Amino acid sequence: MTTLRPSNGEYPRLLEIWRSAVEATHDFLTPADVEYYATRVPLYFPEVDLTVAEVDGIAAGFSGIAEGKLEMLFVHDDFRGRGVGTALLRAALDRFPDLTLDVNEQNPRAVGFYLHHGFEVVGRQETDSDGRPFPLLELKRA
For the stretch 7-52, pLDDT in tens is 999 999 999 999 999 999 999 999 999 999 999 999 999 999 999 9
The whole-number pLDDT of residue 138 equals: 98
Answer yes or no: is pLDDT of 137 > 90.
Answer: yes
Whether residue 142 has pLDDT greater than 90: no
Half-sphere exposure of 13 (CA within 13 A, CB side): 14
Please report which confidence band the pLDDT of residue 71 belongs to, taking 50, 70 and 90 as the band edges.
Answer: very high
- Cα end-to-end span (Å), the chain: 29
Sheet holding 2-6, edge to edge: 2-6, 49-55, 58-66, 69-75, 100-104, 136-141, 119-125
Q: What is the pLDDT of residue 69?
A: 98
What integer pLDDT is reported at residue 20 of this predicted model? 98
Residue 83: predicted pLDDT? 96
Axis crossing angle, helix 11-25 with helix 31-44, rounded to the nearest 10: 140
Q: What are phi and psi of 62, to 5 degrees?
A: -160, 160
Distance CA 55, CA 131 (A): 35
Strand partners, 70: 65, 101
- For 92-131, how does the pLDDT look when each residue is reduced to its tens digit (9 = 90+)? 999 999 999 999 999 999 999 999 999 999 999 999 999 9
pLDDT digits (tens, 9 = 90+) for 52-68: 999 999 999 999 999 99
Residue 88 confidence (pLDDT) above 90: yes
